[in-house]
Amino acid sequence: MKGHFWSGRPCPDWYRQAGLGIFIHWGIFSVPAFAPRGRAIHDLLREDYDELNKHLPYAEWYENANRLEASPTREHHRRAYGDAPYSAFREPFDEAACHFDAAAWADSFKAYGARYVVFVTKHHDGYCLWPTDVANPWRPGWHTERDFVGELADAVRARGMRFGLYYSGGLDWTARPLPIANLGDMFAAVPTEPDYVAYSLAQVRELIDRYRPSVLWNDIAWPSGATLPGLFDHYYAVVPDGVVNDRWLAQEGLFNSLRDEANRASFNAMMKARIQATSGPQPTPPPPHCDFRTVEYGMSAIPADSMWEACRGPSLAFGHNAQERPEDFLDAQQLIDLYTGVRAGGGNLLINVGPRADASIPELQDRPLRALGALLRQA
């Protein structure tokens, strides 16, 4: 991507100095609010790679976990909901979400000491939290009527914070609803077909044009390397001091090759060997372009000579998991120590909240964040 006006641009000062951001995972998955508890993702990668996602504590991966035979999520779903499809959770979510209060969220985030907020606009289930004009070819109307993204953007900015958005570009289970057990399965599930390439590109451009996000936070991968330079050109033209993260892996050849079972087995064997060959987090190669690197739950090494961001939940999950217990959560001192360590290492902390379906933030998440905010106001 050399030769573009943004190539080699320094990371904007506002982001380098931000310190604390709030991540928000809220959606249809907040209705079942279930995932197995007790084992962190970095431990699962080492100890149970082949069936990682059967035991993943991420409640926002509920739809996928329910596709995996003998997973705790599937067993829970059959007991609680029988053979109801994931789409059956849409109506109760839309009903509960009427309690959403953007001003109340923004007041809380301000009290936490946040300088920026990153809202999940579309997670892997493909459900959009804004009234998109880009039609979903596989599940028509799979979006909210209410503009949760726009309401929160206005409330956050009114309180002097920056607003950013997350978009799942690499996975969309409306386009490729394949069971994903491990990393090879995950990259094989990246949709590379022309209809998804056009869909995801149009949606991200729509989000940029409507909401002008200060942070453009893509997840997993991107379906087409050919579209990236033009997308970045457009983003920086609309938001000159914006920042993008590093999750734009766009290797269609790799993704397509992993749809072959033998190739996928070889890839998984390579990944397992690489993980077992080291006792700690491993460095990941830099992408062709980003403004900052991401480190999720300590799964990758802190990058040298690059701005970075630590992202994680207050427990082992991002989406609200009703199975978790008080001992699964960071207490106030642990959160303060985490923030202090990240800042000492030159990074920002993007700490997540996982609201219930009715948009309320559980006290076990809220209380430590308010303690951190009180400390930051004294600084």
HEC assignment per residue over the chain: CCCCCCCCCCCCHHHHCCCEEEEECCCHHHCCCCCCCCCCHHHHHHHCHHHHHHCCCCHHHHHHHCCCCCCHHHHHHHHHHCCCCHHHHHHHHHHHHHHCCHHHHHHHHHHHCCCEEEEEEECCCCCECCCCCCCCCCCCCCECCCCHHHHHHHHHHHCCCEEEEEECCCCCCCCCCCCCCCHHHHHHCCCCCHHHHHHHHHHHHHHHHHHCCCEEEECCCCCCHHHHHHHHHHHHHHCCCCEECCCCCCCHHHHHHCCCHHHHHHHHHHHHHHHHCCCCCECCCCCCCCCCEEEECCCECCCCCCCEEEEECCCCCCCCCCCCCHHHCCCHHHHHHHHHHHHHCCEEEEEEECCCCCCCCCHHHHHHHHHHHHHHHHC
- Give the pLDDT score at 263: 98
The share of the chain scoring above pLDDT 90, in percent, equals 91
- Give the pLDDT score at 184: 98
The lowest-confidence range among 36-40, 159-163, 212-216 is: 36-40
Residue 301 has pLDDT above 90, yes or no: no
- 375: Cβ contacts below 8 Å, ≥ 6 apart: 113, 336
The lowest-confidence range among 103-112, 117-126, 274-283, 286-295 is: 274-283
Q: Is the pTM of this model over 0.85?
A: yes
- Give the pLDDT score at 204: 98
Q: Which CATH entry fits the domain spanning 13-378: 3.30.930.10, 3.40.50.1980, 3.20.20.80, 3.40.50.300? A: 3.20.20.80
| Dmax (CA) of the chain | 57
Cβ atoms of residues 167 and 207 within 8 Å: yes
- Give the pLDDT score at 200: 98
Residue 280 has pLDDT above 80, yes or no: no
- How confident is the model over 61-108, as pLDDT tens digits? 999 999 999 999 999 999 999 999 999 999 999 999 999 999 999 999
- Give the pLDDT score at 58: 98
- Give the pLDDT score at 99: 98
- How confident is the model over 95-140, as pLDDT tens digits? 999 999 999 999 999 999 999 999 999 999 999 999 999 999 999 9
pLDDT band at 283 (very low <50, low <70, confident <90, very high): confident
Residue 282 has pLDDT above 90, yes or no: no
First CA to last CA distance, the chain: 41
Identify residue 115 by its one-letter amino acid code. Answer: R
- Give the pLDDT score at 313: 96
Q: What angle do CA 131, 136, 141 make, to 5 degrees?
A: 50
- Give the pLDDT score at 63: 98
- Give the pLDDT score at 38: 84
User: How many other β-carbons are positioned within 10 Å of the β-carbon of residue 194?
Assistant: 10
In whole numbers, what is the pLDDT of the chain averaged over residues? 96
- How confident is the model over 21-33, as pLDDT tens digits? 999 999 999 999 9
- Give the pLDDT score at 298: 77
